[in-house]
Structure 1
Amino acid sequence: MTTIQIELPEATAQAARDAGLLTPQALDRLLTDALKRQQAADSLLSIAGRVAAAGIAPMSMDEINAEVKAARAQRRQRAGGH
């Protein structure tokens, strides 16, 4: 285990404490989630050059929304949801 000391504004620290976010478990979960998001963003950015070089046209917002809806529906179906 590593011990970390941080300085926060009192209002932020109090709100985080009241929300139960200053426990080792909560901080571990928050940092792990942030690391996953950062890795996903880094992964997407790392292929941006290849996508541009391949001449792949950007998707419209409607196309993106349709893909997101389809992925969510597929995930619900696999999970046995409706």
Structure 2
Amino acid sequence: MTTVQITLPDQLALEAQRAGLLSPARLEKWLRDQLEDQRVDELFLAMDRMAGVDEPVAMSPEEVAQEISTMRAEWRAKNTR
């Protein structure tokens, strides 16, 4: 377990304590909720970035086969020296 010390204005600390917000269980739940919210926000930001990327033109099966053949030929040429 880790102990964390925070500094709060007296009035805020008093109100939070009275409301039960400073209990270890309540703080743990709040932190876990915040972490989850942050992960979700990061996911949506990543999705927005992905949506902004132009998709490459789809290749036909024949074009894919040709690319594979070309790469294999290049690999063979490089590795048979």
Q: Report the number of matched residues.
A: 55
**Alpha-carbon distance between aligned partners in 1 of 2:7 and 2:52, rounded to the nearest angstrom:** 42
Backbone CA RMSD of aligned residues? 1.5
* Aligned equivalent of 2:3: 3
Runs of 4+ in 1 over 4 A off after TM superposition: none
What SS does the corresponding residue of 1:53 show, helix, strand or coil? coil
Q: Percent identity?
A: 36
Query: TM-score scaled by structure 1?
Result: 0.62
C-alpha displacement of 1:22: 0.5
Aligned pairs (5 A) from 1:35-50: 35-50=35-50
Which structure is larger by alpha-carbon Rg, 1 or 2? 2
Q: Tell me what 1:18 maps to.
A: 18
Corresponding residue for residue 53 of structure 1? 53
1:37-79 deviations in whole A, cap 9, x for unaligned?
Answer: 0110011111211112258xxxxxxxxxxxxxxxxxxxxxxxx
